A = this chain, B = another copy of it.
Amino acid sequence: MSPRTQQQLDKIRKERKQAIMDTALETFAEHGYESTSISMIARKTDISKGLMYNYFEGKEDLLTSIMTEGIEEMFSMADPNRDGVLTKEEFEYLIDGMFELMRVKSNFYKLYFSLMMQPSVSKLFMAKMNQVIEPFLKLFVDYYTKKGAKNPMVEAVLVGALFDGIGFNYVFNPDVYPLDEVIKLVKERFV
């Protein structure tokens, strides 16, 4: 047996780190951050408690890593800044993308929503999330401005609230929520 190369080690490390984060996200989403113990995550990931601390500085670091990754992923997947202008088709496409993200990353959204509710925790992520949200808001404002809305800012805020509300309702009841039809209606009414 030749010893593993540095690259192999890096790969293992990266994969394991991801495995921990995946399990943790799932568990945080299911039981909440506070109610999830490090032991639980370690057991589910099939590693020892001690090893967790080799990959993350602690529980909070684990949470931050998950959230950061999720936010970045959101940012990269749904980056709207192609040319800074939104056509009708692009708006619709963006809406689809957004809700598709919720479908695929529903655990992330669950966690996100639950963290937003705890101001003491949320400050950590608020800033980051705002970096994601703001460009969208700006796009919306531009869109409604161009459309000649009386108060484009408010219009944009309303759409933002709508996305949050639908997401919020959907991720906690994915099985019964009529997401597709709701999306269709959103498009009719807000695009």
Given that A34-B34, A117-B117 are contacting pairs, would A178 and B165 also be in contact in the complex, using a CB cutoff of 8 Å? no
Bound: A117/B165 CA distance, A: 13
Question: Which of B31, B121, B165 makes the CB contact (< 8 A) with A120?
Answer: B31
Assembly CA distance A114 to B157 (angstroms): 21
Q: Give the residues in chain B near A153, CB-CB below 8 Å.
A: 178
Judged by a CB distance under 8 angstroms, whether A185 is at the interface is yes
Chain B residues lying within 8 Å of A81, measured Cβ to Cβ, are none
Q: How far apart are the CA atoms of A157 and B178 in the complex, in Å?
A: 8
Residues of B within 8 A of A155 (CB): 185
**Contact-residue bracket for chain A:** 35 or more
Q: Are A154 and B181 in contact (CB under 8 A)?
A: yes
Is A158 engaged at the interface, CB distance under 8 Å to the other chain? Answer: yes
Q: Is A169 an interface residue (CB 8 A)?
A: yes
Q: Is B154 a contact partner of A161 (Cβ separation < 8 A)?
A: no
Q: What string of 1s and 0s marks CB contacts (under 8 Å) between A161-191 and chain B? A: 1111110110010000110011011100100
A118, A153, A166: most-surrounded residue (chain B CB, <10 A) = A118
Question: Which B residue's beta carbon lies closest to that of A159?
Answer: B165
Nearest residue, chain B, Cβ from A122: B172
A120 to B119, CA, bound (A): 20
CB of A35 closer than 8 Å to a CB of B: yes
Minimum-distance CB pairs A-B, first 7: A165-B165, A114-B117, A161-B165, A34-B34, A32-B118, A164-B165, A161-B166
Cβ contacts A to B, 15 pairs, < 8 Å:
A31-B118, A31-B120, A116-B172, A117-B172, A122-B172, A151-B185, A154-B178, A157-B169, A158-B182, A161-B162, A161-B165, A161-B169, A164-B169, A165-B166, A168-B168
